[in-house]
Amino acid sequence: MELTDLVPVPPGINTLADGRKVVNAKQATMLSLLGNPRADYGDDCREITNPRLKPLVESRQLGPIKVRGLRPAVDGLQRILAEIAAKAPEIHAVIGTAGMLCARFVRGSTIAISNHAWGTAIDLTLAGRLDARGDGKVQFGLTRIAPIFNAHGWYWGAGFGTEDAMHFEAGDGLIRDWAADGLFGGAGAKPPPAHLLSLGDRGPQVEGLQRALNAAGAGLLADGIFGRDTQAAVMAFQGKRGLLVDGVAGRETLAALNLLAATAATGVVPA
């Protein structure tokens, strides 16, 4: 099979050998620990203007590719590419990039900031070919290197609601570790709880939240993007359940949704 041949998204992606999940970095995590890269965004690539982040931006040649991103992410990519070179040299030889630092919104959103905006995500090509976004198929070569990215704490974008297999980004846990190690040039704010979901987040956890809200009658498109419609559905659910109406899916809101799901499945309210 050729490295650029298309195959279905394999099962169990973004899961480590011990069963732990690699989770994409949430917007609230990024904003609290790194700050906002700039004050305004669009669909086009723009530069970081945040004076705290600008000194951390670095360009570096990493074997076959030249990247430009936040220094901890560039350091991480250097280690990943070295491992790919050792374990899959035929893939390393044809890796290219479609970009790393790009301060913009997630495609199709005017709320969710792409993690490219912080320079902690990269889009890869194989043999000069870019994996098409959203077709549910992935390049065979990407399936072979994704576990290496996962082992280093990076999330593979094939797991997004809209499959984005060319995309790899530093996961939520890795961002938190880098911040704890002082790699972002100073102490940021305290990060939000890891389970919390809020406006601008995306990924499988948000898709699960949307499906749970739909089971409660929300009627959302389960696209994995926490937009205004999902925020409104969370607030409506919180109001009906007598919870704090803040539009944030925290521990109490998620517990209430889980209770509702368990009751619907069994017909019995759990003790």
pLDDT per residue as tens digits for the range 87-109: 999 999 999 999 999 999 998 88
Kindly report each contact of residues 140-147 with a partner whose C-beta sits within 8 Å and lies 24 or more positions away, as own/partner: 140/1, 140/2, 140/3, 140/4, 140/5, 140/6, 140/7, 141/3, 141/4, 141/91, 141/94, 142/166, 143/7, 143/10, 144/3, 144/88, 144/91, 145/84, 145/88, 145/91, 146/13, 146/14
Q: What is the mean predicted confidence (pLDDT) over 162-186?
A: 93
Q: What is the pLDDT of residue 266?
A: 46
Residues 6+ apart with CB under 8 A from 135: 6, 163
**CB-based contacts of 40, cutoff 8 Å, min separation 6:** 46
Least confident of 36-50, 135-149, 189-203, 213-227: 189-203
Residue 268 has pLDDT above 70, yes or no: no
* Fold held by 204-266: Muramoyl-pentapeptide Carboxypeptidase; domain 1 (1.10.101)
Q: What is the pLDDT of residues 9-33, one digit of tens each?
A: 999 999 999 999 999 999 999 999 9
Give the Cα-Cα-Cα angle 75, 79, 84 (nearest 5 degrees).
140
- The encoded tokens of residue 235 equal 């607030």
pLDDT of residue 271: 34
Q: Provide the 3-class DSSP secondary structure of residue 121.
A: strand
Question: pLDDT confidence of 269, banded at 50, 70, 90?
Answer: very low
Quote the pLDDT of residue 7.
Answer: 97
Share of the chain above pLDDT 90, in %: 86
**More confident of the two residues 265 and 165:** 165
Q: Which residues contact 124 (CB under 8 A, 6 or more apart)?
A: 95, 96, 97, 98, 142, 166, 168
Q: In 3D, which of 249, 270, 246, 248 has the Cα closest to residue 259?
A: 270
Helices marked H in the chain = 27-34, 71-87, 89-92, 140-151, 172-180, 204-215, 228-241, 251-266
Separation of alpha carbons 248 and 199, rounded Å: 7
Pairwise CA distance, residues 171 & 204, whole Å: 13
Q: How confident is the model at residue 265 (pLDDT cuts 50, 70, 90)?
A: low
Q: Is the pLDDT of residue 188 over 90?
A: no
Contact 64, 92 (CB under 8 A): yes
Give the model's pLDDT for residue 187: 56
* 6-180 matches 204-266 in fold: no
| Residue among 32, 62, 36, 71 at smallest CA distance from 50 | 36
User: 150: which 2 tokens?
Assistant: 């996962």
In the block, residue with structure tokens 């280093």: 152
Residue for token pair 């940021």 = 188
Residue range 143-154: average pLDDT?
A: 98
Average pLDDT, the chain: 93
Separation between Cα atoms, residue 270 and residue 207, nearest integer Å: 24
What pLDDT was estimated at residue 263? 65
The sign one gets for the Cα dihedral 162, 164, 168, 169 is negative
What per-residue confidence (pLDDT) applies to 264? 63
pLDDT of residue 190: 79
How do the domains of the chain map onto residue ranges? 6-180, 204-266
* CATH architecture assignment, domain 6-180: 2-Layer Sandwich (3.30)
